[in-house]
Structure 1
Amino acid sequence: MANLKEIRNRITSVGSTMQITSAMKMVSAAKLKKAQDAITAMRPYADKLTELLQSVSASLEGESGSVFAEQREVKNVLVVSITSNRGLCGAFNTNVIKESSRLANETYADKNVSFMTIGKKGHDILGKKFYVIHNNNSVFDDLTYENVSEITRRLMDIYSEGTYDKIVLVYNHFRNAATQVVKTENFLPIQPVALEDSVSSSADYIFEPNKVEIVETLIPKSLKTQLYKSIRDSFASEHGARMTAMHKATDNAGELRSELKLTYNKARQAAITNEILEIVGGAEALNN
């Protein structure tokens, strides 16, 4: 059994760790509220914009000359992996990295797969195994629509140049503070809905000046909104995952501290008992 000083040091160390994890939990809880409000408010707009674009694109029947709606033979695939810059958030980053690796090794095993990473943690791991064309860490320093638009424009440029035939996003979808689901989402080319599904919905729209021009205008805006929504989703998921992880860490630290205190009290009691026995034994020896 460890001596009393070692146990006291461990109790102090666990207590300090407990204070840190508790503080991190509160910070993430405060940031989560703002991030959750942002993604909750944005989702209906982003989903409706994507639905509108897909519906109109499907009804064009080949009229559109947009390169972003062109369906090519898939030879080169770009996976955009969205993680975080910091750890201590449970399996948040690990799940995205695993899914990204699975896409490269299984789903697109017969294709040339490259990566673009958003977040330091994903780049650190994926960069050792795969070819990463670009890493975007600074976007989380100032997460705005304008900054994300720069990344979108880069993706649109490399796709229009024919460097890649397909671009997919991998990120954590935010459900609640305790639940984040890894989601794989097609980014380019734009996937139109089935024509029969779009006919009924297109009947409700009056197009001015015409469908082609509307689609050409909607595509950049829709892609920018889609990527911004995905990063926002991941951002809210990160704080939810970190808050949950730090809550569990704080509880575990509390349990460990209680066990150490019990061990300390037992050791102290044993030490006192031994001292009493020694005193009594010494007194009896003197009497004899």
Structure 2
Amino acid sequence: MSVRRASHAGSWYSDSAKDLDRQLDDWLNNAHLSHGPARAIIAPHAGYQYSGAVGAYAYRQVSPVVVKRVFILGPSHHVRLAGCALSGFTKYRTPLFDLTIDQRVYDELYATDHFESMSSSADEDEHSIEMHLPYVAKVMEDYRDQFTIVPIMVGSLTPDREHLYGRILAPYLADPQNLFIISSDFCHWGQRFRYTYFDRSAGDIWQSIQKLDKQGMNLIETLNPSAFTEYLKKYGNTICGRHPIGVLLSAVSTLQKTSNGHRMSLKFLQYAQSSRCFSSNDSSVSYAAASLIFE
């Protein structure tokens, strides 16, 4: 048995189980259950001091009693990857308790010949999946021995490959015992991110960023993968989880075309920026929380 250490604990979030538990409790208690039970959520992966409160709005929509498996799709920040990769570990450590990877589902995914294995160093360097693990542990704590996780690192996919992975994952999304977590921050604005789009008609820079993000969020809510792709082409918005989002939208699109004609609704519930930008010397990252339900 090999366990992935909580490599970002103590820096990106608290490595004290007691402090972490209290913090997550506070954030979840301040969020409202308004669009659940979630079959999938979109939530940020920045340091908890910046994005933890926003993420709670997504996790508040989860009904842990029905969940047996948690898929976590996170973008690759450090490794060049044209497809998707799976972990070589058997467990992921959190300060609260360890999470077990579902090896049976991994075998099924490997059998498609469209998944590769990530190295242990790439796995531990990446934060986009790890930042969701404490929230998963917290929400699922009453069922800690009754669920597994399926971490998937998502590379820089073409739209065609987003559709491919969406088709592969669609049957899992259709299963009410599965929860999908889509890990993504929104606009990374500023010279250090090499992105300084500014629509002056919106007001200050931070208002332009908000307008741009809201436009993207509105398109994601339509559940139309090609419309989201066109938006990204037009504005180049630096949404780091755009490919995991694209995979989710493609999975939804696949299910909508089946004979069952699944009816789904995705809604954004919270939005924030790390700081407000007023000049070209400023920078910020945006965070958003959303929930997808089957009607």
The alignment's TM-score, normalised by the length of structure 2, stands at 0.26
The alignment's TM-score, normalised by the length of structure 1, stands at 0.27
Higher helix share: 1
Higher strand share: 2
Higher relative contact order (CA 8 A, sep 6+): 1
